[in-house]
Amino acid sequence: MTCVILFHSCKKESVPAENEVYFPRIKAIISDHCLSCHSSAGFWEGRPTAFDTDSEIVAGHASIKAAVVDPVSMTNKRMPKDGSLSQSDIDVIVKWNAKGGKTTD
């Protein structure tokens, strides 16, 4: 008598969608973690960057990514000021930046 045991995994592999749009999540991250300082109504006087509008967020896409993942330097400070973002928020920022950092990305 021969016994054959087959194993089948039901784990679904996550394949990133090329057409996934990250900008709505980026706006939520900016709203939740950045606008208290980086807005026209922010309390950080002399702020070098404001993210009041979509175009300002897009214009700052590289610096947003740099502030959460690139090495800290004299010109690159870690943001947000009061702590780190979640890894999932950081991942979204990196993916959005890699796609081009536009409102359509």
Average pLDDT per 10 consecutive residues for the chain, totaling 105 residues: 47 56 97 89 72 95 94 87 90 96 95
Residue 2 domain-assigned (yes or no): no
Check residue 55 and give its pLDDT: 96
Residue 37 domain-assigned (yes or no): yes
Using CA atoms, how far apart are residues 64 and 54, in angstroms rounded to an integer? 13
Check residue 10 and give its pLDDT: 45
CB of 44 closer than 8 Å to CB of 80: no
Residue 16 domain-assigned (yes or no): no
pTM: 0.78
Q: How many domains does the chain have?
A: 1
Using CA atoms, how far apart are residues 26 and 90, in angstroms rounded to an integer? 10
Where in the sequence is the domain holding 30, given as residue range(s)?
A: 23-41+50-99
Residue 3 domain-assigned (yes or no): no
Check residue 24 and give its pLDDT: 97
